[in-house]
């Protein structure tokens, strides 16, 4: 029995040590937070890391952490006697996620994805508080096979079929991904290490458990007894291809995307000229940029946005998940947070002479009074216009366009809707609210940057002239 225990221990230590070295999971001076559920995988993880700690070429510390989520029906997860026997520091994180789960489930989120997201956030916060540089999880080879099969059933691409990464961003590590569930149970039994069984692992209402207890056994029996190994090989191949494609996507995003904190613009010309595989990845990367690396859009949403980018002649708006909208129009594909794409409120009182800054439009207007002298070349210019002061009625206001706004454009001979003027000037619908209108008590005088009203034009008997110079914020005056 002792020889069997030693052989198993050496075999598993070699496998875990090799994975740690291959994926650079541990560096000199790391403090590793080991997430303990009280189950077989986390106990194996902690025991092997404790053994490696004594012989590894780099020095690192271990901290065992158990998350007590206060959920009914779940017993205490940790076995203090075992932890005391291997002399590893231990912390319990108490967090009542049960009430959060009930609220979010009513809002339509799925149990598994929500639980995973909640736990991940709690663990990251705990790692910061405890000064840990790495978080070690006990996922093993059979978990990986189940993850790949679940992704296949969802219709995932290479990213989903890559399964769980050995390491993510250098913080999250999974040293047991090369060990099977059978090897782990053998190891624990040989070393008489206690563990508990999580009752939720038998609940067939969860898709993961259906795959584990029904689908995979059927595939092993009827099609391939080594299906788990084949699925893990698929994950390895897809991970390598996904890494290459991710690098290509990053390069394309750097080249053509114009990112901001609340929205990202992508020129349609460059987007349409990119391969389809990169276009979809570009959209996902843009989404994650806006959601701070949380969640994914569905393939249905990505496909709809991609088709709109190729087909839309008029501006088209699409709702994505997570409060994100996609807009195609004006030669751009724009993805942004809902609030950043909603029309705002533009309203400024004007006094002249002086200047008015219009922050929403990134503009400023300098107002000057000219008396008894008309400048050379005075007729209308886009950035410099001249108005008859005597034609102004009451107070001057700069505001955004409103439904039904009309004026008599200079030289047109009739009235025209402001909306039609902005359409003719190819101003995207999402940006029209940012176009200032100069108005007085009698109506619109100037669609700023586009056209003047006939009423305000300079006449032969004009003696007092209001000169308006349009500048960008930060642009020096001449």
Q: pLDDT digits over 336-379, tens only?
A: 887 666 666 778 888 888 888 888 788 889 998 887 666 655 55
65: domain CATH number?
A: 3.40.50.620
Q: In terms of domains, do 403 and 433 share one? A: yes
Contacts of 474 (CB under 8 A, 6+ apart): none
Q: Which residue has the higher pLDDT, 4 or 64?
A: 64
Does 249 fall in a domain?
A: no
Which of 341, 371, 395 represents a domain boundary (last residue)? 341
Q: Which two tokens stand for residue 115?
A: 């639980």
101 pLDDT higher than 70: no
Q: What is the CA radius of gyration of the chain?
A: 32
Which of 281, 314, 341 represents a domain boundary (last residue)? 341
Q: In terms of domains, do 31 and 106 share one? A: yes
Closest CA to 443 of 462, 424, 456, 429: 456
Contacts of 344 (CB under 8 A, 6+ apart): 360, 400, 433, 434
Predicted confidence at residue 75, as pLDDT, reads: 45
Predicted confidence at residue 30, as pLDDT, reads: 94
40 pLDDT higher than 70: yes
Q: What is the pTM of this model?
A: 0.69
Exposure string over 196-222, b if 16+ CB within 10 A, otherwise e? eeeeeeeeeeebbebbbeebbeebeee
Predicted confidence at residue 354, as pLDDT, reads: 87
Label residue 106 by pLDDT band (50, 70, 90): very low
Please write the tens of the pLDDT for every residue from 225-272: 999 999 999 999 999 999 999 999 999 999 999 988 788 999 999 999
Q: Which of 192-206, 350-364, 409-423 has the lowest mean pLDDT?
A: 192-206
Question: What gap in Å lies between CA 161 and CA 140, rounded to an integer?
Answer: 16
- Contact between residue 249 and residue 285 where contact means Cβ atoms under 8 Å apart: yes
Q: In terms of domains, do 228 and 278 share one? A: no
305: domain CATH number?
A: 3.30.465
- Domain range enclosing 454: 347-472
At which residue do the structure tokens 């300098």 appear? 366
| Mean of pLDDT values over 173-194 | 90
Does 134 fall in a domain?
A: yes
Q: Which of 172-181, 288-297, 337-346, 457-466 has the lowest mean pLDDT?
A: 337-346
Please write the tens of the pLDDT for every residue from 46-57: 999 999 998 888
Q: In terms of domains, do 13 and 85 share one? A: yes
**120: how many CB neighbours lie within 10 A of its CB?**
14
Does 243 fall in a domain?
A: no
Which of 311, 341, 371 represents a domain boundary (last residue)? 341
Distance of CA 351 to the CA centre of its chain: 44
Report how far apart, in Å, the C-alpha atoms of 401 and of each of 30, 194, 450 are: 58, 71, 13
Burial tier of 89 (Cβ tally within 10 Å: 0-12, 13-18, 19+): exposed
Tell me the three-class secondary structure of 341-376, residue by residue. Answer: HCCCCCEEEECCCEEEEEHHHCEEEEEEEEECCCCC
Distance of CA 46 to the CA centre of its chain: 33
Q: Which residue has the higher pLDDT, 122 or 455?
A: 455
Report how far apart, in Å, the C-alpha atoms of 150 and of each of 164, 219, 326, 478 are: 12, 14, 28, 64
Predicted confidence at residue 312, as pLDDT, reads: 65
Does 247 fall in a domain?
A: no
| Mean of pLDDT values over 58-76 | 72
Q: In terms of domains, do 224 and 264 share one? A: no
Which letter does DSSP use for residue 477 in this model? P
Cis peptide before 73 (omega within 30 of 0): no
Distance of CA 95 to the CA centre of its chain: 25
Residues in the chain: 478
Q: In terms of domains, do 403 and 428 share one? A: yes
CA dihedral 423, 426, 428, 432 (to 10 degrees): -60
* Total of domains in the chain: 3
DSSP string, 44-102: HHHHHHHHHHHH-SS-EEEEEEEEE---TT------HHHHHHHT--EEEEE--HHHHHH
Q: Which two tokens stand for residue 218?
A: 């059927």
Does 110 fall in a domain?
A: yes
Q: Which residue has the higher pLDDT, 103 or 60?
A: 60
- Contact between residue 333 and residue 309 where contact means Cβ atoms under 8 Å apart: yes
Does 169 fall in a domain?
A: yes
Q: In terms of domains, do 46 and 178 share one? A: yes
Q: In terms of domains, do 184 and 297 share one? A: no
218 pLDDT higher than 70: yes
% of the chain with per-residue pLDDT over 70:
86
Question: What gap in Å lies between CA 191 and CA 189, rounded to an integer?
Answer: 5
Q: In terms of domains, do 276 and 131 share one? A: no
Q: In terms of domains, do 334 and 374 share one? A: no
Predicted confidence at residue 105, as pLDDT, reads: 43
392: domain CATH number?
A: 3.50.40.10
73 pLDDT higher than 50: no
Q: Which two tokens stand for residue 251?
A: 């390069």
Q: In terms of domains, do 320 and 381 share one? A: no
At which residue do the structure tokens 């769980």 appear? 164
DSSP string, 387-428: EEGGG--S-EEEE---TT-EE-BTTTSS-EEHHHHHHHTT--
**458: how many CB neighbours lie within 10 A of its CB?**
18
Label residue 108 by pLDDT band (50, 70, 90): very low
Does 37 fall in a domain?
A: yes
Exposure string over 23-52, b if 16+ CB within 10 A, otherwise e? bebbeeebebbbbbbbbbbbbbbbbbbebb
Q: In terms of domains, do 35 and 177 share one? A: yes
Does 242 fall in a domain?
A: no
97 pLDDT higher than 60: no
């Amino acid at each position: 029995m002792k020889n069997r225990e030693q052989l198993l221990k050496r075999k598993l230590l070699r496998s875990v040590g090799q994975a740690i070295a291959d994926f650079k999971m541990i560096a000199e001076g790391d403090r590793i937070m080991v997430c303990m559920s009280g189950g077989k995988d986390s106990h194996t993880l902690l025991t092997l890391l404790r053994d490696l700690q004594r012989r590894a070429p780099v020095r690192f510390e271990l901290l065992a952490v158990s998350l007590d989520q206060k959920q009914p029906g779940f017993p205490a997860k940790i076995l203090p006697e075992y932890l005391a026997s291997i002399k590893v520091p231990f912390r319990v994180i108490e967090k009542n996620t049960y009430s959060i789960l009930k609220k979010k489930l009513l809002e339509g989120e799925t149990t598994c994805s929500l639980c995973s997201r909640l736990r991940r956030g709690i663990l990251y916060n705990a790692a910061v508080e405890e000064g840990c540089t790495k978080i070690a999880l006990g996922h093993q080879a059979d978990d990986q096979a189940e993850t790949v099969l679940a992704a296949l059933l969802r219709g995932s691409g290479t990213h989903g079929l890559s399964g769980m990464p050995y390491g993510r961003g250098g913080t999250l590590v999974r040293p047991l991904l090369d060990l099977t569930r059978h090897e782990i149970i053998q190891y624990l039994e040989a070393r008489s290490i206690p563990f508990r069984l999580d009752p939720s692992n038998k609940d067939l209402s969860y898709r993961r458990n259906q795959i584990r207890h029904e689908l995979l056994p059927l595939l092993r029996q009827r099609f391939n007894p080594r299906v788990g190994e084949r699925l893990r090989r698929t994950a390895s191949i897809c991970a390598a291809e996904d890494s290459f494609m991710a690098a290509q996507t990053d390069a394309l995003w750097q080249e053509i995307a114009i990112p901001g904190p609340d929205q990202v613009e992508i020129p349609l010309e460059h987007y349409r000229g990119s391969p389809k595989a990169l276009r979809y990845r570009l959209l996902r990367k843009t989404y994650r940029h806006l959601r701070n690396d949380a969640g994914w859009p569905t393939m249905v949403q990505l496909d709809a946005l991609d088709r709109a980018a190729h087909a839309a002649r008029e501006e088209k708006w699409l709702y994505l998940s997570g409060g994100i909208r996609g807009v195609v129009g004006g030669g751009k594909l724009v993805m942004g947070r809902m609030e950043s794409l909603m029309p705002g409120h533009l309203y400024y009182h004007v006094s002249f002479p002086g200047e008015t800054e219009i922050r929403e439009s990134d503009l400023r207007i300098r107002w000057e009074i000219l008396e008894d002298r008309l400048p050379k070349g005075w007729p209308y210019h886009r950035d410099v216009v001249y108005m008859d002061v005597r034609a102004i009625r009451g107070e001057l206001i700069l505001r955004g366009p409103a439904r039904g706004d009309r004026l008599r454009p200079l030289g047109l001979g009739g009235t025209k809707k402001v909306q039609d003027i902005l359409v003719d000037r190819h101003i995207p619908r999402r940006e029209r609210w940012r176009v200032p209108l100069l108005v007085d008590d009698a109506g619109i005088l100037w669609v700023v940057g586009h056209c003047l009203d006939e009423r305000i034009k300079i006449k032969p008997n004009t003696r007092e002239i209001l000169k308006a110079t349009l500048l960008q914020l930060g642009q020096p005056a001449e």
